[in-house]
Structure 1
Amino acid sequence: MQPSTRAPAPAKALLRFAPLGLIVIVLLTGLLLGWHRYLTLDYLAAIRLTLKGFALDHGWLAALAYVLAYGLAVAVAFPATWLLTLAGGFLYGIWLGGLLAAAGATIGATVLFWAAQTAFGEGLRSRVNAMAGKVARGFEANAFSYLLALRLAPIFPFSAINVLPALFKVPLTTYVAATLLGILPGAMVYASIGQGLETILAEAATRDRPVGVGDLVTPGITLGLLGLALLAAVAPIASVIRKHWAARNT
């Protein structure tokens, strides 16, 4: 009689949490080692010439490194990842910088979604009550449109939106497509802000005082922030239009 190769139930249950546990370990390690100190405008100002030179000298390898670094930061829910989008615009301009940032953010968000879904998805989904189950079925039935609306409105925490769909039966392809399309407009806006940072960072590098929010208030950057505000209004406006259209056709 062959011995059973199946893992005991408790071991299998713990194994579900391994990807999420690894993400938490990387996040805590980064915070303890002070990696967040590198995600500041002051640090970007200090190494701006080095980054520019690296991007020019290494071409697509530098772009790939940027995407992977962005993806890792998003996957572990590291704070201030918005600065990486600014850096993308600073290094590569609006279009390429925005696309690279969106790609990195989508990769990282997908990793976090998969880890959370592996750990919690089926377990929580099977325990919801009637009302929560109705909400879950509604989200699952319209997963793409709901997720796209959440992504387009930058008023919601990015990491929370990465994890929330993992609690429902959202297909991976739907999650990736809605995430990429929803992130792209905001990434372009942030990249446009980043493209205008050259003068600000150059001036900051020659001063003793740190870069402040007031330093970022320029006409070009103000337009970028206005673009973000308009993006925040897209989801509620679309919801009102959809409800009005449905009412007219009933």
Structure 2
Amino acid sequence: MEPPLHPNRSAKLSRRLPILAILLVAVAGAVLLRDQLSFETLARHREALLDFRDAHHAAAVLAFLAAYVAVVTFSLPGALICTLTGGFLFGLFPGVLYNVGAASAGAVLLFLAARAGLGARFAERISAQGGAVARLQAGLKESEWSVLFLMRLVPVVPFFVANLLPAFLNVPLHRFAISTVLGILPGALVYTSVGTGLGAVLARGEAPDLGVIFTPPVLGPLLGLAALSALPIVLKFARKGR
């Protein structure tokens, strides 16, 4: 008969189970769903989706929110498709609210799972060991709000990375949640707006122009917001330099 697990070891395992489950589902989803959550799939089912929305609006909203939260929580491929679908099914408003709410909820769930499983102890070990990484961690803490907003506003930072890094640096939940909601709102507005015209695009057998976010009228304001977010960091370095 095997001896029972030590209480501390059992508690550690239970804390790590959520993030381990997320990692397993993420790997399986990357393999199995890579070709499923696509424009082609949406084009094939667009009429059925619209019919279901018209016949069961409340159920369609709940199903959409649940699917989007699951995609973000498990870092599955298709978050952008979900955002476009939100605009396609529900219009700019309330579609953008559904998109931001579901993406933020999924990000918070992933953040909490990562922090419970690894993040808090990882951050403590960095602080205890000292060195360059600990100094970087301390520097980031001095400008936490700015760094969090920059990760959301600058389009080059993958969404799942921006969900995991704060967990590993032990960022407070309220800061992570607020910066996520406000930081993803500009991009969500753009892609939800693209989604509102998705029906006509799919009917022609085409794909939407997702490069719209990199055009000057859109990218300019986003970079302006990113510059405002970075301003406190620049001012701190300037004061230290003096």
What's the counterpart of residue 223 of structure 2? 233
Distance across 2 between alignment mates of 1:107 and 1:114: 11
Call closer, same or farther: CA 1:141–1:8 in 2, change over 3 Å: same
Once the two structures are TM-superposed, the CA of residue 230 in structure 1 deviates from its matched residue by 2.9
Give runs of aligned pairs for residues 1-250 of structure 1, distance below 5 A.
7-32=6-31, 34-128=32-126, 129-204=130-205, 211=206, 215-217=207-209, 225-226=214-215, 228-230=218-220, 232-234=222-224, 236-238=226-228, 241-242=231-232, 247=238
- C-alpha separation between the residues in 2 aligned to 1:240 and 1:115? 28
Q: Mean alpha-carbon deviation: is it higher for 238-247 or for 135-144?
A: 238-247
- TM-score normalized by structure 1? 0.82
Runs of 4+ in structure 1 off by over 6 angstroms are: none
Contact 1:186 1:231 in 2 (8 A): no
User: Taking structure 1 as reference, are residues 96 and 236 closer, same or farther at Cα in structure 2, changes over 3 Å only?
Assistant: closer
Q: What TM-score do you get using the length of structure 2 for normalisation?
A: 0.84
Contact kept in structure 1, 2:153 and 2:183, CA below 8 Å: yes
For 2:7, the aligned partner's letter is: P
Letter matched to residue 208 of structure 2: L
| CA drift at 1:166 | 0.4
Q: CA deviation at 1:28?
A: 3.4
Please say if residues 150 and 235 of structure 1, whose CA atoms lie closer than 8 Å, have aligned partners that are also in contact.
no
RMSD: 2.6
Distance 1:223 1:164 in 2: 28
In 2: Cα distance, 1:144 partner to 1:243 partner: 10
Question: Which runs of 5 or more residues in structure 2 are unaligned?
Answer: none
Percent identity reads 31
Aligned counterparts of 1:37 and 1:198: Cα–Cα separation in 2: 20
Q: How many Å apart are 1:80 and its aligned residue?
A: 2.6
CA distance in 2, matches of 1:224, 1:50: 29
**Closer, same or farther in 2 for the Cα pair 1:12/1:228, shift >3 Å?**
farther
Q: Could you tell which deviates more after superposition, 134-143 or 107-116?
A: 134-143
SS at match of 2:117: helix
Return closer, same or farther for 1:130/1:27 CA change in 2, 3 Å cut-off: same
